[in-house]
Amino acid sequence: MYDTTPEGRAGTAQALWAQGARVFLRPRATDSAALRVLTRICPGGCFKFDVEDRVTFAPATCTYCGTCLSVCRRTGEVVWEHPDAPTHP
Ligand code: SF4
């Protein structure tokens, strides 16, 4: 179970990163409101709007805070892939 408290989220995210987990944005037909919010609240500035008003993701400045996973938990648009887990389409 994912700990959604700020302390638990940060600790879990850092632990996942240390284990080799990486953040991915899934292919999707539209961008949810939750995903669009990440263009404003992602501390790494990894989510931006392109010229067609679609959300793009560039993880180079990711801080692995876990916010995106928490915010998009219900939409499934953001996934953290763990090297030991099956890959997502
Ligand atoms: S883990 Fe944090 S910094 Fe990295 S993409 Fe998600 S919200 Fe942005």
DSSP 53: S
Which residue range forms the structural domain that includes residue 37?
6-81
Look at residue 48 and tell me if it is in a domain.
yes
CATH number of the domain that residue 53 is part of? 3.30.70.20
Among candidate residues 22, 13, 25, the one with its CA nearest the CA of residue 57? 25
Query: Ligand 1 centre from 44 Cα, in Å?
Result: 6
State mean pLDDT over 10-18: 67
Neighbours of 67 (CB within 10 A): 20
Nearest CA to ligand 1 atom 6: 68
Residue 42: inside a domain, yes or no?
yes
For residue 88, pLDDT beyond 50: no
Residue 26 domain-assigned (yes or no): yes
Question: Which of ligand 1's atoms lies nearest the C-alpha of 63?
Answer: 3
Q: Is residue 25 part of a domain?
A: yes
Q: Residue 75 C-alpha to ligand 1 middle, in angstroms?
A: 16
**How many domains is the chain partitioned into structurally?**
1
Across 12-37, b (16+ Cβ under 10 Å) vs e yields bbeebbeeebebebeeeeebbebbeb
Indicate whether 17 belongs to any domain: yes
Interacting residues of 2 by C-beta distance below 8 A, sequence separation 6+: 9, 12, 69, 70, 73
In a domain, 36, yes or no: yes
Q: What is the pLDDT of residues 32-63, one digit of tens each?
A: 999 999 999 999 999 999 999 999 999 888 88
- What spacing in Å lies between the alpha carbon of 52 and ligand 1's midpoint? 22
Q: Is residue 52 part of a domain?
A: yes
